Amino acid sequence: MERPPDPSLQSHMEPLVAISIAHLRPSTRQRLADDGLSVTAYPNDYGGFVYVDPRGEHTPQETELAALIAIARRAGIVWINFDCDALAVDGVPVFDDKEPS
């Protein structure tokens, strides 16, 4: 039998979504890996976690990330986990591994 989460923990939960890192341009992926994004992020070996900032006080300079964060805010998401093994989201642009010249 499953037990419900402790009520005191529920007040600390933050919604997270895992999506493909292919939704980021290669240069943005590299900034994430280098811990150099324009917003709060925590890189890992597979991509990284990006804070959405639901209040909208910080908008990323990276245009495709700004668009993704706007979508996440509308959905009530607080964290995006960009992962190389996660699925791509239908209707959201996907970028090749190389920047266009």
Tens digit of each residue's pLDDT (9 = 90 or more) over 12-50? 889 999 999 999 999 999 999 999 999 999 999 999 999
Q: Is residue 36 part of a domain?
A: yes
Residue 45 lies in a domain: yes
Higher pLDDT, 63 or 10: 63
Residue span of the structural domain in which 72 resides: 13-83
pLDDT of 5 reads 64
The arithmetic mean of pLDDT across residues 60-71, rounded, is 97
Neighbours of 13 (CB within 10 A): 9
Distance of CA 67 to CAs 2, 7, 11, 12, 51, Å? Answer: 38, 34, 28, 26, 14
Residue 47 resides in a domain = yes
What is the percentage of the chain residues whose pLDDT exceeds 70? Answer: 94
Residue 91 placed within a domain: no
Terminal C-alpha separation, the chain: 57
Task: Please indicate, yes or no, if residue 41 is contained in any of the structural domains.
Answer: yes
Q: Is residue 21 situated within a structural domain?
A: yes
What is the pTM assigned to this prediction?
0.88
Residue 31 covered by a domain: yes
Domain count, the chain: 1
pLDDT at 97 over 70: yes
